[in-house]
Amino acid sequence: ALNLTTQTQLAAMLPITATYSLVGGTRPTDELGRVGDLTAISANLNFATQKITDYTLSANNSGRTWDARGSGTFGQFLSSNDGLRLNGLCTGCTTDASGNAITSSANGFAKGALVGSQAQGLITTYGLQANEKGISGAAVLKRP
């Protein structure tokens, strides 16, 4: 993105809160390169505290259903390090002896950037893993 929101612009937005919703993105890709569907992604931000209070992601891929959430600081999300920690569930990442899907823990990270002089947009990448299975993708979100 060319017009990333600066720290000065973020500080001037206090005490705004905003909810970002999906505009578009890549289809989540699994560990074997198969594509699925990003069914929902959203983020609630508090500019006064510089925190993402709720980052929510839902996806389907290769017969698996992924649901994850996370929260943390802007610093974590905007960082070149690990990013914002996501925790959730994957149904179908493992099966029982009869081949029935089991729900297991999933975890991963989300990273991104805010775009525009008033942080009108949010770009994000994400990755989740469970039982040696995984998905990753990217999305663009906007606020009203």
pLDDT, residue 13, reads 85
pLDDT, residue 1, reads 67
> What Å distances lie between residue 116 and 6, 73, 134, 142, CA to CA?
9, 19, 32, 10
pLDDT, residue 81, reads 82
What phi, psi does 46 have (nearest 5°)? -120, 110
Tens of pLDDT along the chain (144 residues) come to: 679 999 899 888 877 999 999 999 999 999 999 999 999 999 999 999 999 999 999 999 999 999 999 999 999 999 878 899 999 999 999 999 998 999 999 999 999 999 999 999 999 999 999 999 999 999 999 998
pLDDT, residue 21, reads 97
Q: Are 79 and 100 in contact (CB under 8 A)?
A: no
Q: Find all residues with CB under 8 Å of 30, minimum gap 6, and list them.
A: 36, 61, 62, 64, 133, 134, 135
The Cα 6–Cα 85 span in angstroms is: 23
pLDDT, residue 133, reads 96
pLDDT, residue 128, reads 98
Mapping DSSP onto H, E and C, the string for 30-81 reads ECCCCECEEEEEEEEEECCCCEEEEEEEEEEECCEEEEEEEEEEHHHHHCCC
pLDDT, residue 67, reads 98
Residue with tokens 């569930």: 89
The Cα 2–Cα 4 span in angstroms is: 6
